[in-house]
Structure 1
Amino acid sequence: MPVVRFGVSLPKDIANQFDTIIKQEGYENRSKAIYDLIKDFITKKKWEAGKQIAGIISILYDHHEKTTVNNLLDIQHDFHDIIISSQHIHLDHDNCFEVIIVKGESIKINELYKKLKFLKNIKQTNLTIADLE
């Protein structure tokens, strides 16, 4: 992949704070940290524009809540066209963790995410997105 070099001007205190943070995060140089920030920004804009993306939806819930379990399954069946895979993990006697891998238009992925997120008895839900390009 061809590389483009460009300069960035920042106030000294911001540059110092940035250097401190990227060092703590384990970056070896500013270029990789800036690359990651720009890539995240581009992915976010594609998300907002309804472009094709991939993602992971994670859900933590109490498996004793049978209505919740049934609703989770029903919703996933409604979105079978964007769900690539899912994995169900038994964390302990009460808690289950589900990971759903999705690919499709961000608008539809967001619709699925919100339906899952706002289900009764869901303890926690997260969405991580990735740019397909």
Structure 2
Amino acid sequence: MRTSLAVPEELLSEFDATWQKEGLDSRSRAIREAMAEYVERHEALETADGPVAGVVVFDYEHEEVIENLHGVQHTYQDVIVSTSHAHRGEWCLETLFVDGDAAAIRELVYQLKDFDGVRRVRTMVL
């Protein structure tokens, strides 16, 4: 199946450099592998059930999301045990230590991913 994507030039350049350094034979193969990894990460979060503990790490552009981000964190204060915050220029790196129902943590992660100013969200649940 063929498809087309709208990708920022800088991201495409970085992506091409990465798969070429890894020795993959084509951009198509690299995209298939990236998609498979994305699905695997989603599946791990989606199949978590019952009480879990873990971390949610994300980076965001401070000015763009800070007010709404605080609202989300207060909404999920029953599963957020603590947070850690670091500054990276215009971007901030936040770590949420979570403990509680997997469904609530999943909702939290999906809300964070929905912010335009949040660049990446990674999770690890135990």
Structure 2 length as normaliser, TM-score? Answer: 0.61
Matched pairs, number: 84
CA distance in 2, matches of 1:100, 1:127: 9
Root-mean-square deviation over aligned CA pairs: 2.0
1:1-133 alignment, distance < 5 Å? 48=47, 50-65=49-64, 68-92=65-89, 94-130=90-126
SS of 2:77's equivalent in the other structure is coil
- Which deviations, in whole Å up to 9, do the C-alpha atoms of 1:85-111 show, x marking residues without a partner? 00111122x110000010011111101
Question: Which protein is richer in helix relative to its size?
Answer: 2
Structure 2, unmatched stretches of 5+, are 1-42
Q: Which has more radius of gyration?
A: 1
State the one-letter code of the partner of 2:82. Answer: S
SS of 1:64's equivalent in the other structure is helix
CA distance in 1, matches of 2:59, 2:86: 10
SS of 2:115's equivalent in the other structure is coil
CA distance in 1, matches of 2:122, 2:46: 15
Identical positions, percent: 29
Structure 2 equivalent of residue 6 of structure 1 = none
Structure 1, unmatched stretches of 5+, are 1-43
